[in-house]
Amino acid sequence: MTRPDSPRVAGWSGPADYSRGVPSRLDPTIDHAAVNIARGLAMDAPLAVKSGHQGTAMSLAPLAHVLYSRVMKHDPSDPGWADRDRFVLSAGHASILQYSMLFLQGYGTTLDDLKAFRQWGSATPGHPEVGHTAGVEVTTGPLGQGLANAVGLAMAERHLRARFGSDLCDHHTWVIAGDGCLMEGVSHEAASFAGHQKLSRLVVVFDDNGITIDGGTGLSCSDDVAKRFDSYGWSVRALGEIGEDLEALENALVAARDDGDERPKMLVLRTQVGVPSPDWTGRHEAHGNPFSAEHVTRTKDVMGIPDEPFWAPEAVVTAVRAAARRYEAQREAWAKRASSHAEWQAMMSGPDPRWAESLPVFPIGESLATRVAIQKGFDAILPSVPGLVAGSADLTGNTGTRLSGQSALAPTTPEGRQVYYGVREHAMGSIMVGMALHGGLLPVGGTFFVFFDYMKPPVRLAALSRAKCIFVFSHDSVGVGEDGPTHQPIEHLAALRAIPDLQVIRPCDANETSAALRAAIEHNGPTALVLSRQNLPVVCDGGAVTRGAGVLREGSDVCLVATGSEVAVALAAADGLAESGVSARVVSMPSWDRFESTRRNDRALAEAILPPSMPTVSIEAGATLGWHKYADACVGIDRFGVSAPGTTSLINLGMSPSNVVHVVESLLRSDAVD
């Protein structure tokens, strides 16, 4: 076999041919060489660092090459082009496949980056990370999340196309998913939702290789994927074993893209993991890292390429990158159209600078649940925040995420701003992340706080991705009442606060809720708003949100620091303490992470709010885990809740002014003895 390691390859006269213009497609010899480069890199990078997954990357190299070099609309010179096709490697363990494509296509990934695969500080981490590597659209790795993110990407594209027309938004979302992605429960929810929404520009290639880490898929799974997706309302096509046939792959992808079918597409591609290894092809061991240097040598011999690490002849790479410029002129023309469209620019760059002026202000003494206050806030800002879309997991009215006067985002009204996710918390969170990372939309999603259990993976990935989502969690304590411990979140605030780069705000009243909404929209990343079911008195102007904490009442003997509904309890307890001559300071602390930012940037201010020398008692209707950082004694709930009226539950579990007074008096007696 002729090795294309120099310009003198039969049928190709070298890169000079490509300098005269952008070719519509590559010479077949270059196609073949590019696939071999990708397969070689898929073996070399894991071998070099003794870590990684080469098997899937090897078998899917032809598919990925066809997608990037023939089918997808993209321009490596501008990875952020808003009207590019999106590619999601849901099977994120095969990250070396995507990195190889980004290198070949000219996205800025270098051979040195590939040599540093999975190493400290490299641009090629173990799984693709958006914002870390140019050309990566979403952070994948936890299986099924990428597929669900892609549903959000496709939702955003259709919504923006409906509002602005195909001159500004006209692209597709492509996904590679494996058996693991489709086994995970989130894929069921997301696929069902996508079928119902008729997301015709979503194309998923199912890499049907029949293996998992433990062995063949028959060990654990016998469902019929094609029938399953057909029942969800997808167009399902069996491609058979065409994984090595570039022309057949191209024809199948283009047919799925252009067929006019209103349903999302599932293409079932039969592959053999680890192909063309003479040792590991088709074996489940090829998923991980069983290849030794000898195995790589034998495989490269079968491929007919030099047995040298990171083989990537410059002439071939130059040709592939020249062809990757084929959408450059189209992108430039699009940019001119987009630059003159004011509303599009507003969607992409954020709301009007004066948008916050429309946030509602509530009079002191009024009483309403913070879940009600957030709905009033959303309605007030809708005209000035055009990218805001909101929905819930079948709890729209209950969580304050109903947008007054807005139509449903549906196949017949894709421009709608109200999303009905159904009882699908797993998928809702992941779809929101995809919508946010697409650009142009600010997704809001609501559910009861206890069901954060179902949303933990996408909330974590939103934080890792800095996806600008607003997660609304209402019914935030045992105040939920008679529904009992299954519906009463106890440990959830501690779990939320443990997630890095997630802004968590539990406002004490309606004005703090307005301030929390402002903080969420101004924050560069995701926010969790934790809201009450029960009515709460309006007790402040909301200023504590800015710093994370604020003094609502001055005092010199003891500090009561509380969040959410317990701020009112703290104020009542302060009144009770005053009757016995104890001067209690009351601090509302709606956001630990914002307060920690204040402490890092202005320690004196933080200590003026929470004086370290003053005995401090925390009050929160949840687990006390973490509060000892701020408090000498904690009033909280370190057990599961009960089935009883909300007020009864709160009182009997210690969330009462009288119990706070008792704890404070005990603390002060203890301090006096010490």
Catalytic (active-site) positions: 425
Q: Phi and psi dihedrals of 569, rounded to 5? A: -65, -40
Return the closest-CA partner of residue 452 out of 410, 502, 413, 415: 502
Measured N-to-C along each axis, helices 425-438 and 452-465 cross at an angle, to the nearest 10 degrees, of 20
Burial class (CB in 10 A: 0-12, 13-18, 19+), 439: middle
Take residue 106 and report the two structure tokens written for it.
């000219």
- Between CA 492 and CA 453 the distance in angstroms is 8
Sheet of 616-619, strand order: 550-553, 584-588, 558-562, 616-619, 633-635
Take residue 109 and report the two structure tokens written for it.
């990934």
The residue behind tokens 């206890």 is: 450
Burial class (CB in 10 A: 0-12, 13-18, 19+), 29: middle
Return the closest-CA partner of residue 545 out of 513, 497, 500: 513
Which residues make Cβ contacts (< 8 Å) with residue 364, sequence separation at least 6?
538, 539, 540
Distance set, CA 644 to CA 475, 484, 489 (Å): 15, 7, 15
Sheet of 202-208, strand order: 86-89, 173-178, 202-208, 265-270, 235-240
DSSP bridge pairs for 392: 420, 446
Label residue 19 left, alpha or beta by phi (over 0 means left) and psi (-120 to 50 means alpha). alpha
Distance set, CA 102 to CA 98, 108, 292, 316 (Å): 6, 7, 26, 14
CA angle 498, 148, 146 (to 5 degrees): 75
Determine how many CB atoms are found less than 10 A away from the CB of residue 81. Answer: 21
Determine how many CB atoms are found less than 10 A away from the CB of residue 290. Answer: 17
What letter represents residue 401's amino acid? T
362 touches 322 (CB < 8 A): no
- Between CA 122 and CA 45 the distance in angstroms is 13
Three-state SS at 616:
strand
Three-state SS at 205:
strand
- Between CA 36 and CA 277 the distance in angstroms is 12
CA angle 96, 97, 103 (to 5 degrees): 85
DSSP state of 266: E
